[in-house]
């Protein structure tokens, strides 16, 4: 068991260090921090609202992740296939599960660092007022879980192509569908012709619907199970796709 997790750690370190061998990590972190702060303080009208909370910060996260998470996930497998290093990877004494989990956890941990760097905004809110820090903490946890879903889906789709641009586009479209599924406009159009269970199913698959509940400080079992199940499902499909590529 120890050796099993040591191999996952090896893949994790290889992938995580890879982010910092190129300007990708710095560019992503700068863009994420700039957009997060800009959307919070300007588009979210933080000061005009006069409320000591971070609703104007977290409300934009689904839309930020819609673009930025596929930008991270597109390279996980597409780059390996393009450079030919995937052949080397699959010949290593590691299982497909170890490969997929190690690469995914590296990207998810990188996202954790990005979120961690936004905590000065949290400190600013505490300096200006007395926010409900419990709600903010749960929103951070929910944001990280949602990012994990975007990444797991992007990683899975990245396996299908050698082209990172194509991987980015199909990942963004897929994530967009799962975000838009929670919009009232989409649901109202479905209600006009579909049974209620269809509408409820579409709502239950929406990242936005689950994340909205978290923003109110409610991390219920349903939401937690949804995000974790989505991650596990995407990783399982990712493992099967890697196995298919290995057999080719």
186 compared with 5, residue with greater pLDDT? 5
144 compared with 74, residue with greater pLDDT? 144
In terms of Cα–Cα distance, which of 209, 208, 187 is closest to 196?
187
- Does residue 88 carry a pLDDT above 70? no
In terms of Cα–Cα distance, which of 36, 28, 228, 30 is closest to 146?
228
Mean pLDDT of 68-92: 72
pLDDT of residue 81: 67
The pair of three-digit structure tokens given for residue 203, joined into one six-digit string: 């709502």
Mean pLDDT of the chain: 81
Q: How many domains does the chain have?
A: 1
- Output the pTM of the full model: 0.86
Range of the domain at 159: 2-247
- Does residue 107 carry a pLDDT above 70? yes
Give the span between the Cα atoms of 206 and 111, in whole angstroms.
21
């Amino acid at each position: 068991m120890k050796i099993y997790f040591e191999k996952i750690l090896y893949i994790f370190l290889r992938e995580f260090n890879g982010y910092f061998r190129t300007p990708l990590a710095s560019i992503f972190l700068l863009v994420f921090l700039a957009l997060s702060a800009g959307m919070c303080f300007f588009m979210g009208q933080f000061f005009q609202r006069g409320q000591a909370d971070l609703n104007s910060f977290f409300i934009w996260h689904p839309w930020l992740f819609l673009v930025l998470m596929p930008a991270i996930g597109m390279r996980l497998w597409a780059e390996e296939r393009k450079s030919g290093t995937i052949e080397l990877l699959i010949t290593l004494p590691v299982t497909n599960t170890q490969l997929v989990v190690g690469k995914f956890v590296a990207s998810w941990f990188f996202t954790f660092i990005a979120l961690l760097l936004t905590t000065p905004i949290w400190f600013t809110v505490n300096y200006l007022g007395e926010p409900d820090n419990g709600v903010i903490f749960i929103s951070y946890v929910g944001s990280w879980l949602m990012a994990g879903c975007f990444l797991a889906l992007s990683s899975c789709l990245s396996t299908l192509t050698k082209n990172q641009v194509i991987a980015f586009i199909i990942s963004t479209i897929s994530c967009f569908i799962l975000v838009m599924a929670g919009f009232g406009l989409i649901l109202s159009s479905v209600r006009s012709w579909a049974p209620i269970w269809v509408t409820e199913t579409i709502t239950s698959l929406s990242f936005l619907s689950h994340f909205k509940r978290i923003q109110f400080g409610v991390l219920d079992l349903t939401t937690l199970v949804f995000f974790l199940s989505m991650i596990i499902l995407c990783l399982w499909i990712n493992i099967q796709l890697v196995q298919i590529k290995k057999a080719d």
